[in-house]
Amino acid sequence: MSQKPIELILTRQLASYLATPVFIIDLDGTLVFYNEPAERILGTRFEETGAMPASEWGTVFVPTDEHGAALEPAELPLVVALREGRPAHGTLWIHALDSVPRHIEVTAFPLIGQTNHRVGAVAIFWEAPV
């Protein structure tokens, strides 16, 4: 495994100290970390899932719209933030790995390094009122 950019490493370290659920992906869209508060919403510990490509994490948490229709990974705010290089926000349902459906709001933004290049994206999220 190659060395990750310092911005991803530092963002992961910051996320580990936050009470806000945080989900981090690299430039390829690979999940590199989610913190303990995110574990409670996602239904499993990061140590159990580990890193995974967008094609996997975009479906393993079973994201759906308010009518129960599956969302494609490209429709998720985190993927939009990475692909388009802009903040994105959305409300969706996930059926987490603990089989509990959760209504969440997600705000995602691109992670831009010191030399003004994108190195990944970050999502913060929380359970939304139903």
Q: For residue 61, give the nearest of 8, 110, 46 by alpha carbon.
A: 46
| Cβ neighbours of residue 91 closer than 8 Å, sequence gap 6 or more | 66, 103, 104, 105, 106, 128
pLDDT (tens digit per residue) in 59-112: 788 889 999 999 988 899 999 999 999 999 999 999 888 888 999 999 999 999
User: What are the E-state strand segments in 1-130?
Assistant: 22-26, 31-34, 63-64, 88-95, 101-112, 118-127
pLDDT (tens digit per residue) in 13-59: 999 999 999 999 999 999 999 999 999 999 999 999 999 998 888 77
Residue 1 confidence (pLDDT): 52
Residue 90 confidence (pLDDT): 96
Residue 98 confidence (pLDDT): 85
Q: Which fold has domain 6-127?
A: Beta-Lactamase (3.30.450)
Domain range summary for the chain, segments of one domain joined by +: 6-127
Residue 55 confidence (pLDDT): 83
At which residue do the structure tokens 């239904």 appear? Answer: 43
